[in-house]
């Protein structure tokens, strides 16, 4: 096994030798704890049969550990100044391919077809805080052949992803993620495990993509629109939120009838409803709209 990249001394040495400067606009924080990296790979259940897609390899700390467990790794890095560094730090590994691309502009389907013969891939990443949600939702909404997503994110975001009804962290992101996945918060990672240190704690969360959506709705666009309205103004009742912001073409009396039909109190707020409840609301609203 080669010397670990993810130690404070080795990371500092690589940075200094290459005159590398952390870029705030890329949200770069490198892991310097090898034990955490091993745990991430274990949480992702990476095996020698897997082709793994890594997003944002940095200087290759996680890439190195992934390569030692997986059949192959494709690492997509947006920062061009890191490409020559990765060539040095990962020298000797013949199962790694580095691509200097923006993951949000990458043809992930073509990549999966090319590198894994169209079979579902596992995604593993230490994601920049500022772009965590766009990356995860893009991977899910585009319906790529992805088996699971194991990512290091801001602790608060991880808690929101796996929160349930009536919990403080529960919101639109919770429902959006859980519509596609089973979410499991694996471990909390303290700022001291990174260089430079972030201001808040991080967490590793694994999203296992479901073969079918958790709920079935005829109109996904309407479903997510209702969810967005429900959590857009959390202090309002759901009835008022839908009437004032929903643009559903339904008067308040009709909305009240829908709530009664579903057996709900008209004072209920969105935070009290489960994903199943939102699915039932979607079907009821769609049916009422058809009668107009």
Report the pLDDT value the prediction gives residue 143, as an integer from 0 to 100: 83
Mean pLDDT of 218-229: 96
For 91, the token pair is 């020298």
Rounded percentage of the chain residues whose pLDDT exceeds 70: 100
Residue pLDDT, tens place only, 21-77: 888 777 899 999 999 999 999 999 999 999 999 999 999 999 999 999 999 999 999
Residue pLDDT, tens place only, 115-145: 999 999 999 999 988 899 999 999 999 888 9
Report the pLDDT value the prediction gives residue 266, as an integer from 0 to 100: 96
Q: Where are the alpha helices (DSSP H) in 24-123?
A: 34-43, 61-69, 83-89, 108-116
Contact 152, 131 (CB under 8 A): no
Where in the chain is CATH 3.40.50.150?
A: 8-209
| Secondary structure letter of residue 272 according to DSSP | G
Cα torsion 200, 201, 206, 212: sign: negative
For the 220-290 domain, the top CATH level (class) is mainly alpha
pLDDT, the chain, mean: 95
Q: Calculate helix-pair angle for 172-180, 275-290, nearest 10 degrees.
A: 90
Residue pLDDT, tens place only, 198-215: 999 999 999 999 999 999
For 244, the token pair is 């004032």
C-alpha angle 100-208-74 in degrees, rounded to nearest 5: 20
Give domain 8-209's CATH number out of 3.40.50.150, 3.40.50.1220, 3.50.50.60, 3.40.50.720.
3.40.50.150
Cα distance between residue 99 and residue 272, in whole Å? 44
Where in the chain is CATH 1.10.8.100?
A: 220-290
Give 292's pLDDT tier (boundaries 50, 70, 90): confident
Please determine, for residue 1, whether its predicted confidence score (pLDDT) is greater than 80: no
Cα distances (angstroms) measured from residue 39 to each of 1, 19, 216: 17, 30, 34
Mean pLDDT of 150-165: 97
Cα distance between residue 234 and residue 88, in whole Å? 50
Cα distance between residue 216 and residue 218, in whole Å? 7
């Amino acid at each position: 096994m080669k010397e670990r990249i993810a130690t404070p001394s080795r990371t500092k040495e690589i940075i200094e030798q290459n005159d590398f400067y952390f870029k705030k606009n890329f949200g770069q924080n490198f892991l310097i704890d090898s034990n955490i990296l091993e745990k991430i790979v274990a949480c992702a259940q990476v095996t020698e049969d897997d082709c793994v897609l890594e997003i944002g390899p940095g200087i290759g700390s996680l890439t190195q550990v992934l390569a030692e467990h997986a059949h192959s790794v494709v690492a997509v890095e947006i920062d061009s100044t890191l490409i020559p560094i990765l060539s040095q730090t990962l020298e000797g590994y013949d199962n790694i391919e580095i691509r200097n691309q923006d993951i949000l502009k990458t043809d992930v389907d073509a990549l999966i077809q090319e590198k894994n013969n169209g079979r579902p891939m596992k995604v593993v990443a230490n994601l920049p805080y500022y772009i965590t949600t766009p990356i995860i939702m893009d991977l899910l909404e585009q319906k790529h052949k992805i088996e699971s997503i194991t990512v290091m994110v801001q602790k608060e975001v991880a808690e929101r992803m796996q929160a349930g009804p009536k919990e403080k962290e529960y919101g639109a992101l919770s429902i959006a993620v859980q519509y596609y996945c089973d979410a499991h918060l694996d471990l909390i990672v303290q700022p001291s495990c990174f260089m430079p240190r972030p201001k808040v704690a991080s967490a590793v969360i694994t999203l296992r993509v479901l073969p079918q959506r958790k709920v079935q709705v005829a109109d996904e666009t309407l479903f997510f629109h209702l969810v967005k309205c429900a959590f857009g103004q959390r202090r309002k009742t759901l009835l008022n939120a839908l009437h004032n912001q929903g643009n559903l073409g339904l008067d308040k009396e009709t909305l009240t009838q829908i709530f009664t039909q579903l057996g709900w109190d008209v004072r209920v707020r969105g935070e009290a409803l489960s994903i199943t409840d939102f699915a039932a609301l979607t079907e009821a609203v769609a049916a009422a709209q058809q009668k107009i």
